[in-house]
Every structure is written in C-alpha cells, then in structure tokens.
Amino acid sequence: MDFLHALLGRIQSKLSFVSVQPINWKLYVQSFSWGVTLFESYLLLRQYPLYSKAAPPAILEGHFDKDTFEKSQRYGKDKAKFSLFAGIYKQVIDSALIQFGAYAWSWDIAGKILSRFGYGPAYEIPQSILFSAVLFFISSLPSLPLSVYQTFVLEEKHGFNKTTPSLFVTDMLKGWALGFGIGAPFLAAFLKIFKWAGDRFVPWLMGFLLAFQLSMVVLYPTVIQPLFNKLSPLPEGPLRGRIESMASKLKFPLKHLYEIDGSKRSSHSNAYFFGLPWSKHIVIFDTLIKESPPEDIEAVLAHELGHWYFLHPSKLLLISQAHIFTILSLFPAFLHAPPVLRSFDFPEHVARNPPTIVAFLLFQMILTPMEAVVGIGLNFISRQFEWQADRFATELPAKLFQDNAAGKLQLSEEEKKEVEDMADMGERLKRALITLHVKNLSTVWVDWLYSAYHHSHPTLTERLKAIEGIQKRAPRIAADSAKKEL
C-alpha cells in the first residue's frame, strides 16, 4: 500500500500545476471535442463512396443475391448520412452547453431546488445527485428526436423496426427509472468513499467499482434484462441437445440456456453468454434461431465458447481495472483545482472548494483525448479476441480429439461420432456469419481506417478469409485426428 501511495504522490506532484495555473480548459475541451467530431465525420466521408459499389467483395459473391446486396448498400448509405448529421448535431449541443456554462447553471439549480426543501450547501450528496439528473436531462433531451427518427424512420424504412411508439416510451421511462434507481445510490456511495477515504481513496474506490461491476454481472440478467425482454428456457430439441453436449465436452459450466425475444424491438440477431465463473448462462436471439439451422447456431455458440475458453471477459475486466486505476490516480490533481472550475464558469464561492462530482465530470471531459486513444486500443484488442474465437470454433473438433488422446477428456463412442460430425465447423461458422450479415443488411465494404476506429469486430470479409486460411492450413485436421482415434 505504501508503495502505491508513494507512486500516486509522485503523479500528483507532477500535476500540481493544475491546481494553481489559470489554464483555458474550456477552450482545450472545445477544440478537442470538435477535433474528434470532425475526425469521425472525415471517416464517414471516407466510408461513404463504398456504398456505391455495385457488387460485393469476391469472397461473398454467390452468397449475396443482387437485390439483398443493393438493399444493404442503401441501408448503409442511409445510416452513414444519419450518423454524419447526428454526430455534428450532438457536438453542437454539447459544445453550446460547455460554452454557455450549463454545468455551473445545473449545479446552481440543484442547490436552489434543495434549499426550497430547507437543505443548504452542506448537503453535497443530494445536490450532486440532483445536479447529475438536471445535467442528464438538458444534455440528452435534445437528442431525443434523433433516436425517434432512427427507430421510426431509418430502421422502419429498411424493415428492421419492431418497436411500437408505446414500447419506445415505456422503454425510455423504464430506462430513466432504472438509471435513477441504480445511479443515485451508486453516486452516493461513490462520493461517501471519497469523503471517508480522503487522499487514500484510490484502492478503496477501485474495490468499490469492482464490486459494483461484479454485482451487475449477476443483477443485469436476473433483474434488469427481464424488465425489457422475455427470457424463456430454450425448448428441448436438436439445438438444445447440440449446445448442451458441446458445453459438457468443453466443461463449460452451463447453468441456463435461454431464448430471448429480441424480435420484440428489432430483427437484428445475435447470441451471447454471461455469468460468474462457476455458473454461466447462454442467451440466443429468437431471430437467430429462425434464420439459421441448429448446426450453424452450434458454430456461433462454439465461437462464443471460444471467448470463454480464452478468458476474454476476464481479460477485458482486467484491462478495465487498469484503465480505472489510471483515471483515478490522475484525478486528485483535479479534485482541488479552483482554476478548472473557474474556466467552466463556476462562481468563485463554488470553485474555492470544488464539489467532488463537478470536479470529476470536468476531469472526464479533459480526459477525452486519452479516452479516444483507449477506445481505439480496446477495439484493437477486441478484434484480436474475435479472430481467436473464430479460430477456436473452426479447430474445435481437432482440439476435442487432441484432448481425448491426451486423456483430458473421455469421449464415449457416441461422443466421438458427434465430434466427427463437427469436422465442417469452419463451413458452418462461415455460413452463419454470412446469414447474420445478410439478414442484418450489414455493410460489407469497409474502409480500413473507419473500421480500425469504430469496429470491435473484424469485417465479414476479413473473418471469412481468416477462417478459410485456417481451413486451408489444416485441410482435414479434424478428420485426420478422428481417423487416428478410431
């Protein structure tokens, strides 16, 4: 602990200028956020001409009929136009809020509301919660027309929208209630820890955030998601049988297997897993079940289990802890920094003794350059994980036979037969990916820089090529090891 605090102390002394020098932080935040928006618009302009291509990439020829390809190009074009407009619109709003002192105004309003009820400035936590709520509404309400347009015009036009206006409104209200129900106690605890731990808040706050993240892993599927979607146990049948037997061969601790009514809102489809290390749940979208045969869905699940096998979620959690640590260790320099608050129009009496929540929000805005770089880095890592999971699915039969030969697995004759039947896993995964892309009308021509910045998954073409590469390198690897076995 002492080493940790010595390290944090050194970082603080390097940043001590923040608390004294009158730097124009507002100008800095404005320039950088505009920089990010303009860069994102530039990426869209690079991507845009690709939506005019008349035919899909060679590797996809034969999988896309002309009509579907043209539909996907039109959908992509409409989405790109919308993103370009939405990005600039949101930036104009955010920029105006910063320029005209909306942060200081929200703090002031929150204080006034509380004082009506007889609570003075000593009640920092209630004022912080109210401040966050006011700020949330003034910054998010202007974008409401955008999500209405996106759902009821854009997605509707291309046949994806299944949301009714009443569902849209109840979703929104539920989301707000939930945000407040979880956000307010979270914020209260967060601020309490700051006050209680003083200068030594970093390890305590990290422990708190980790506990919060882990409890969300349990609460999200059991309490939160059922508020929006219906999860029902996947009925007995070939699909359930395949997934259960694959999970047991891999010793995946499958607790529940659900089908989710994703089609209630949208016809985009997917599958995922979640849970604690000893109890996992798999969720499959009803749309995916409708669109692909059980053997192809099995390949999608093999990909998902690849994420589990290589500990991808735990690795991401570890990276996020390192990220949180960096943020928290830089924060104390901004915690007692009147010039930062003055720069964002806070009056002298507030700036003299900065409220923690205000200091933290302004600090986060100042961090946007770092966050943009972290985002690109995380996308890069996530894409590596996707390649790895695709490889896992493609090589799964070979792996199971190797495990069996090494004595790590005891396959019965019937199970050996099942593994043998998995020999075409690569083909099935390719087919499932193509179906997913075709049904979702996903973009197939992607600019490399656009993709590097935005995408957490490799493009379809990249994935198909990689899977083909694995299949070519080990053409009949599964069959060969099967022969050895038998």
* Closest C-alpha among 195, 199, 392 to residue 303: 392
Task: Kindly tell me which of 367 and 429 has the beta carbon lying closer to Zn ion.
Answer: 429
Shortest distance in whole angstroms from residue 267 CB to Zn ion: 20
User: CA separation (Å) from 302 to 242, 396, 426, 457?
Assistant: 10, 8, 10, 17
Task: Kindly tell me which of 111 and 458 has the beta carbon lying closer to Zn ion.
Answer: 458
Shortest distance in whole angstroms from residue 304 CB to Zn ion: 7
Shortest distance in whole angstroms from residue 457 CB to Zn ion: 7
Strand order in 279-285's β-sheet?
231-233, 254-260, 279-285, 271-276
Active site (annotated) includes residue 390: yes
Alpha-carbon distance 194 to 356, whole Å? 8
Site for Zn ion in 361-390 (CB under 5 A): 386, 389
Task: Kindly tell me which of 119 and 272 has the beta carbon lying closer to Zn ion.
Answer: 272
Residue 371, marked binder = no
| Helix-, strand-, coil-residue percentages of the chain, each rounded to 5 | 75, 5, 20
Residue 457, marked binder = no
Query: Bridge-partner residues for 275, per DSSP?
Result: 280
Residue 386, marked binder = yes
The Cα diameter of the chain in Å comes to 82
Q: Which of 94, 155, 390, 447 is catalytic?
A: 390
For strands 279-285 and 231-233, give the pairing: unpaired
The secondary element (H helix, E strand) that includes residue 241 is: helix 238-249
Are the CB atoms for 285 and 343 separated by under 8 Å? no
Task: Kindly tell me which of 219 and 311 has the beta carbon lying closer to Zn ion.
Answer: 311
Task: Kindly tell me which of 215 and 456 has the beta carbon lying closer to Zn ion.
Answer: 456
> x-or-dash pattern for Zn ion, window 385-414, by CB under 5 A?
-x--x-------------------------
* Closest C-alpha among 338, 363, 344, 366 to residue 107: 344
Shortest distance in whole angstroms from residue 273 CB to Zn ion: 10
Query: Bridge-partner residues for 283, per DSSP?
Result: 258, 272
Shortest distance in whole angstroms from residue 389 CB to Zn ion: 5
Active site (annotated) includes residue 65: no
Q: Which of 155, 295, 296, 304 is catalytic?
A: 304
Q: Residues in contact with Zn ion, total (CB under 5 A)?
A: 2
Active site residue ranges? 304, 390
Residues that bind Zn ion (CB under 5 A): 386, 389
Binding residues are 303, 307, 386
